[in-house]
Structure 1
Amino acid sequence: MKPFFNPTIWQQEWKEYGDGAAIRMKRSGIDPATAFNSKAQKFNEQSFNEEGRRRSARIVNWLASRGVKFEGASILDVGAASGVFTVPFAERGARVTAFESSPPQVELLKENTARFTENKVEIVSGEFEQIDIEAKGWNEAFDLVFVSMCPVVHDWDSVERILSCARQFAYISMPVSSAESSLVSEVVPLITGEKFQPKITEMAFLLHLLCLNGYAYETLVTRELKTTEFTPEEALEHAMIWLSHHNLPADDRSRSIVKQHIRQNYPADRVQIHEGGRFGKVLIRLQEQNMYVEE
């Protein structure tokens, strides 16, 4: 059998892939489980402002359009953050178990879900990889397992772990290409002499292995952007971390170039950056595997 059709080879290739989100974080000295500790408040504000709510609504509405029922459903939200999807799920009548590893995010999650008293949101903290699925009673326990842009998905073993918790549906979203930043796109040519080129990421492994392993699924690839305001100091650090994540020069010379660029091209107190890229959304059907037609 040719390697293209051999799932074992692809599983091993993904396991050895050296440029995944979790690996890039670790390469920059960041623990994926606590990566958002310092950004929790800003991320929470972005999640629940008008733009953030619209982003969440588009995804929830897409799931609903594909036959996912929320009223009375049991949902496991892995990487729940401060409740960006937990809240709209609960608002639609779902019973949500929200899993989050970052302590500051957990505190915000508690605040944002405190109003749900009839269907109380259960919050579980820790590292998802360390959870005993059987002991928790999570094996095929949830109508929907929802994992959005979370580094717990880093190889096929982690995908199977997620699928083991699902009864009807599993949703996984990941970048299709490396993330983009307007500031980084501006400074990379100044640093390297070449235009910043996004790279195809782990989503290709996920889709191919779902196909080879016989799963029924629907996928959607879109381009999404969000706007964030930083102080000049925050923008500088943002750019340096971004360069490091993408294995680009993040030395003193680069820092000097970025600092000068910000000073010359942005207001003294506020730097507006557009972030985003191409993102893939996959809905895996574990029960009714025929083509869904909305009635």
Structure 2
Amino acid sequence: MEESAKLWKEFWRQATPAAGRGPRSASFWDRKAEKYAENASSDRRDGKLRAALEFIMNAGLELEGAEVLDIGAGPGTFAIPLAHMGARVTAIDISAEMLKRLEKNAAEEKVSSIKTIHSSWKDLDLDALGFKGKFDLVIASMTPAINGPETFDMMLEASKGVCYYSGWVSRKWDKAYYELYRMLFNEDYREASHGLYLPFMYLYTMGYRPTLRIKQELWSSDETVDSMVDEVAGFFSSTKDIDEKMKSRIRAYFQERSKDGIYHSETLAVTGMMVWEKNSR
């Protein structure tokens, strides 16, 4: 590895928060499984998934008979459509509830070419599983499973063809996040470094030239008070300790601002996706 890549790898490592807390914990995603399954169906209806699949296929990949690895597969947002297109999919997720949803959805759609693995990505032994250089396509879509250079290296090692990665560029949260952070911790919330530029520059320093696409969207949703409490507490817990007293204050905040138990949330999201070939450098 060249010096630039080594230096960037170390920078990325230092920029990565501690693993296993908040949105990186299995319990956090278990609680969100039902909602994510609903969102997956919505994504497929409104064309978001179609755009991502077309972006992947523009790399020249033939999906019929392809071996696909879906890291952080969730309820099957990518896995099920790819299986319908003829791929043999290995779907990995840290959340047992997400995988139950995936298996249920696959059964309902009569898809049998998906194998699920319940594990964190970082804990998999690629050699023992025979995963090194096995997959024609490796996908990591908006997943905290890729949380630093080591887990990204694993993604590269598993591929023998095309890789697809999507992640955050920036995110302007609903105002509740900023107000609650100030109320709970007596300080302003500082936007963290969002992830996409980290793997992009890592690839670039290693000689890859990924194709990149950026988009901006306003996400609006109506959420229950319980859902917002879980969402905000889970988000804050990635860097702060959240106790029951704090959760009670968060709940009171949303109860005061909800209508008939429903809170309207708006987030300005800028996301990016990139695709590259393993052997293209």
TM-score category of the 2 structures, normalised to the smaller one: 0.7 to 0.9
* 2: CA distance, partners of 1:177 / 1:15: 19
Letter in 1 for 2:145: V
What is aligned with 2:15? 17
In the superposition, relative to structure 1, how do residues 198 and 161 fare at CA in structure 2: closer, same or farther (>3 Å)? same
Match of 1:96 among 86, 89, 102: 89
2:273 is the alignment partner of 1:284: no
Q: Is the 8 A contact 2:59 2:276 kept in 1?
A: no
What is aligned with 1:114? 107
TM-score normalised over the length of structure 1: 0.79
Deviation at 1:114, TM superposition (A): 2.0
**For 1:130-170, what per-residue CA distance to the aligned partner results, in whole angstroms no more than 9, with x for missing partners?**
22212222221111000112222122221111111111111
* 1: CA distance, partners of 2:205 / 2:270: 23
Q: Is the 8 A contact 1:180 1:198 kept in 2?
A: no
Q: Secondary structure at the match of 2:60?
A: coil
Q: Is the 8 A contact 1:78 1:98 kept in 2?
A: yes
Deviation at 1:70, TM superposition (A): 2.1
Q: Is the 8 A contact 1:171 1:283 kept in 2?
A: yes
Q: Is the 8 A contact 1:74 1:142 kept in 2?
A: yes
What is aligned with 1:86? 79
Let me know the Cα RMSD of the aligned residues: 3.3
Letter in 2 for 1:283: V
* 1: CA distance, partners of 2:172 / 2:186: 20
Percent of aligned positions with the same letter in both sequences? 19
What is aligned with 2:263? 271
Letter in 2 for 1:16: Q
Where do residues 175-190 of structure 1 align in structure 2 (5 Å cutoff)? Answer: 175-177=168-170, 180-185=173-178, 187=180
2:50 is the alignment partner of 1:57: yes
What is aligned with 1:131? 124
What is aligned with 2:227? 234
* 2: CA distance, partners of 1:118 / 1:229: 32
Gaps of 5+ in 2: none
* 1: CA distance, partners of 2:67 / 2:112: 10
TM-score normalised over the length of structure 2: 0.83
Gaps of 5+ in 1: 290-295
2:60 is the alignment partner of 1:67: yes
The count of residues paired between Structure 1 and Structure 2 equals: 280
**Please, which moves more after superposition, 33-42 or 72-81?**
33-42
